């Protein structure tokens, strides 16, 4: 009877391990590419570091081309868009000082900063509707609702509030049928809540 040398066994085992790792790495790589393809990143205007001191300090409105310093913005109003985040906070969190909900995920900038990130350490991005990339919006994650997913990104219809997917005036997290616009009977009393 012949026996396989231990070194040969170890080498064989290492090779198998490497092949398994390679297959795993390839799979992960493919998954990442698929995810990037399925979640087109919206492009948001950015704060810029005009004097190259390492800190962002100016906001450029891409539609008009106007550039504002923080002082310019504060001269208009400390919270221009009324979203509960001061211009300075919008700078800190890279959100748009002229837009109520920069990433359109249903959490207004002030709530995303104060309630979610500072209050609950959620680490949401103010410029990504789905920070962790699981196709559930940051709004729905904040409220513990995982019923509606957006594998192709948020739907692009005018006036959408992504916390109310089916547009029946019930937010996803209180809508038992979040994808059924004809059923908004959250308390199951047989009467649509908008008629009660």
**Helix H or strand E encompassing 72:** helix 70-76
CA triple 85-61-153, angle to 5 deg? 70
Q: Per residue in 43-70, is it b (16+ CB within 10 Å) or e — as a string?
A: ebbebeeeeeeeeeebbeeeeeeeebeb
Minimum CB distance to Ca ion, residue 27 (Å): 22
Rounded to the nearest angstrom, the gap between the alpha carbon of residue 104 and the centroid of all alpha carbons in its chain is 9
> Taking CB under 5 A as the rule, does residue 187 contact Ca ion?
no
Whole-number Cα distances in Å, 175 to 16, 48, 114, 185 = 50, 40, 25, 8
Tokens 């005036």 locate to: 169
Q: What is the DSSP letter of 58?
A: E
- Between 5 and 159, whose beta carbon lies closer to Ca ion? 159
> Taking CB under 5 A as the rule, does residue 111 contact Ca ion?
no
- Between 73 and 170, whose beta carbon lies closer to Ca ion? 73
> Taking CB under 5 A as the rule, does residue 113 contact Ca ion?
no
- Which residues neighbour 132 within 8 Å (Cβ) at sequence distance 6 or greater? 141
Stretch near Ca ion under the rule CB under 5 A, chosen from 3-11, 31-39, 42-50, 99-107 = 99-107
> Taking CB under 5 A as the rule, does residue 140 contact Ca ion?
no
Stretch near Ca ion under the rule CB under 5 A, chosen from 39-47, 134-142, 144-152, 153-161 = 134-142
Minimum CB distance to Ca ion, residue 184 (Å): 23
Site for Ca ion in 36-95 (CB under 5 A): 79, 81, 83, 85, 95
Q: Which of 47, 59, 109, 148 binds Ca ion (CB under 5 A)?
A: 109
User: Which residues sit at the interface with Ca ion, rule CB under 5 A?
Assistant: 79, 81, 83, 85, 95, 99, 101, 103, 105, 107, 109, 112, 130, 132, 134, 136, 141
């Amino acid at each position: 009877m012949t026996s396989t040398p231990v070194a040969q066994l170890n080498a064989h085992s290492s090779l198998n391990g490497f092949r398994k790792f390679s297959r795993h790495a390839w799979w992960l790589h493919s998954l990442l590419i698929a995810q990037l393809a399925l979640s087109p990143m919206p492009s948001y205007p950015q704060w810029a570091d005009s004097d190259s001191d390492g800190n962002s300090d100016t906001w450029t409105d891409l539609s008009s081309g106007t550039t504002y310093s923080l002082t310019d913005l504060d001269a208009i109003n400390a919270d221009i868009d009324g979203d509960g985040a001061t211009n300075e906070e919008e700078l800190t969190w890279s959100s748009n000082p002229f837009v109520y909900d920069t990433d359109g995920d249903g959490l207004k900038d002030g709530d995303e900063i104060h309630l979610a990130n500072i209050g609950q350490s959620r680490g949401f991005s103010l410029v990504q509707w789905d920070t962790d990339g699981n196709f559930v919006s940051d709004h729905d994650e904040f409220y513990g609702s995982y019923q509606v997913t957006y594998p192709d990104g948020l739907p692009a219809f005018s006036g959408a509030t992504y916390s109310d997917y089916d547009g029946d005036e019930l937010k996803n997290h209180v809508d038992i049928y979040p994808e059924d616009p004809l059923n908004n009977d959250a308390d199951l009393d047989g009467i649509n809540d908008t008629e009660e």
